[in-house]
Copies of this chain bind each other. A is one copy, B any other.
Amino acid sequence: MKFIHTADWHLGKLVHGIYMTDDQRFVLNQFVELIEKEKPDAVVIAGDLYDRSVPPIEAVNLLDEILFKINVELKTPIVAIAGNHDSAERLSFGSSWYKNSHFYLTGKPHNQFHPVHINGVNFYLVPYAEPGIVRALLDDDTIHSHQDAMKAVISKIEENLNPNEANVFVGHAFVLGGSTSESERTLSVGGSGCVSHDLFAPFSYTALGHLHSPDAIKHDKIFYSGSLLKYSFSEAKQRKSVSIVEMEDNGAFSVRYVSLKPKQDMRELEGHLEELLDPSFYEKEKLDDYLKITLHDEGALIDPINKLRQVYPNVLHLDRKVKLTDMKKIQGFTSIREEKKSEIDLFAQFYQEMTTAEFSEDKKAVMSEVIQNVLVEEGAK
């Protein structure tokens, strides 16, 4: 039995002011071609089909079109869940009808843990849910964290799970061992959003969404497929692929990864302005990629962004590399949360860390007035 594991399509995503719909369509068309070629028994989409609860109409049209091609035209069963970016209810509309053609979409958290059976594999669909929702659904007041919630859900699943069969968990969660990137909003502070990998021991394969890199976890039975595309510069060096899983009836499996080629890559470039604008340098570059450029130049530059965009039309972000000139900076930021300091003292510390100039009494007077005004407006004083 063969299935393709993907997740985190984030249709409707806006990156640095650019709607990625064309880029997403480009890659999804390749995905459809891959399905035509591989003829899998199922496609698994582990959440975050959309980037937000009310996606733009172009994203709605694109998802409808792609899922129709996969499910109706290519007659490939689909197993999909809602992620934290999807609106469980809006995504769920119509899902009762989709089942007729073997498109199993579980948007809303539920307390029915029967698997979907496809060619000898049991798929357990667990959409993203806040702990409070699971607490109410399972009527279990001991559930407070994502860890508690997932543990309770998996206990329920285990009641009827046959460990000798092929069992696939489809979920959208931050499983410990993973590493976040800036395009995945931090769900909770201090690790309470995390779930331990131990919980997934009952399953032959755990197909996750949420973290955007297939390398976000190293585990022999738990996998992130990674996102469809690079959605932030922190993902510039990540590989992007879908996972093709071939599974025996006893749950033994092999995985291989197939990369999808983006219309435009997202990557970082650095150097001096003059170098980057030199034809002998840029003639080897793919100029229309989405770029974050870091300039090494010191001192003033006249309108560097427009000069760069004449060569590289899709510069999305421009940075300057500031040389760290004293040991204090090399040691990195001192934590400013150690002690309760006044606003002006915090600012003085920040100023000293960020500049080589003195925080004079004149400057202090100006900042004190600004801080005072802000506090008055906030009603804090």
Q: Residues on A close to B: CB < 8 A? A: 54, 57, 60-61, 63-64, 68, 71-72, 87, 89-90, 92-94, 96-98, 100-101, 103
Contact A101 B93 (CB under 8 A): no
* Residues on B with beta carbons closer than 8 Å to the beta carbon of A92: 64
Residues of B close to A98: CB separation below 8 A: 94, 97
Point out the residues of chain B lying under 8 angstroms from A61, CB to CB: 89
Write the nearest CB–CB distance from A291 to chain B, whole angstroms.
33
CB distance from A97 to the nearest CB of B (A): 5
Shortest distance in angstroms between A10's beta carbon and chain B's nearest beta carbon?
17
Extra A-B contacts (5), CB below 8 Å, given A68-B96, A97-B101, A100-B100: A57-B90, A60-B90, A93-B93, A97-B97, A97-B100
Q: Which residues from B are CB-within-8-Å of A64? A: 92-94, 96
Tell me, in angstroms, the Cα distance from A60 to B89 when the chains sit together: 7
The 6 listed contacts between A and B (C-beta, < 8 Å) are A54-B54, A68-B97, A72-B96, A93-B93, A94-B94, A97-B103
Q: How many copies does the complex hold?
A: 2
Nearest-neighbour CB distance to chain B for A59, whole angstroms, equals 10
Q: Are A89 and B54 in contact (CB under 8 A)?
A: no
In the complex the two chains form, is B97's CB within 8 Å of A72's CB? Answer: yes
Contact of A101 among B63, B87, B89, B100 (CB under 8 A): B100
How close is A72's CB to chain B, nearest CB, in angstroms?
A: 6
A19 to chain B, nearest CB (A): 15
Q: Is the CB of A93 within 8 A of B63?
A: yes
> What residues on B are CB-neighbors of A89 within 8 Å?
57, 60-61
Q: Which residues of B contact A60 (CB under 8 A)?
A: 89-90, 93
**Complex formed: what's the CA distance from A92 to B64 in Å?**
9
Report how far A205 CA is from B368 CA in the complex, Å. 76
A68 to B92, CA, bound (A): 12
B residues near A57, Cβ cutoff 8 Å: 87, 89-90
Cα–Cα, bound, A89→B98 (Å) = 18
* Chain B: CB-nearest residue to A68: B96
Q: How far is the CB of A80 from chain B (nearest CB, A)?
A: 13
For A97, what are the chain B residues with a Cβ–Cβ distance below 8 Å?
68, 71-72, 94, 97-98, 100-101, 103
A92 to B62, CA, bound (A): 12
B96 touches A93 (CB 8 A): no
* Interchain CA distance A57-B60 in the complex, whole Å: 16
Q: What separation, in Å, do the CA atoms of A68 and B64 have in the docked complex?
A: 19
Interface centre among A63, A72, A97 (most CB of B within 10 A): A97
Q: Which residues of B lie under 8 Å from residue A93 when comparing CB positions?
A: 60, 63-64, 93-94
Q: How far is the CB of A53 from chain B (nearest CB, A)?
A: 9
Residue of B nearest to A57 (CB): B89
The 8 closest A-B pairs by CB, nearest first: A94-B94, A57-B89, A100-B100, A64-B93, A68-B96, A97-B97, A97-B98, A54-B54
Docked complex Cα distance between A68 and B93 (Å): 10
**Complex Cα–Cα for A87 and B61 (A):** 12
In Å, the complex CA distance between A101 and B98 comes to 10
A103 CB contacts on chain B under 8 angstroms? 97
Most chain-B CB neighbours within 10 Å: which of A72, A96, A98? A96
Chain B residue nearest in CB terms to A96: B68
For residue A38, give the distance in angstroms from its CB to the closest CB of chain B.
Answer: 23
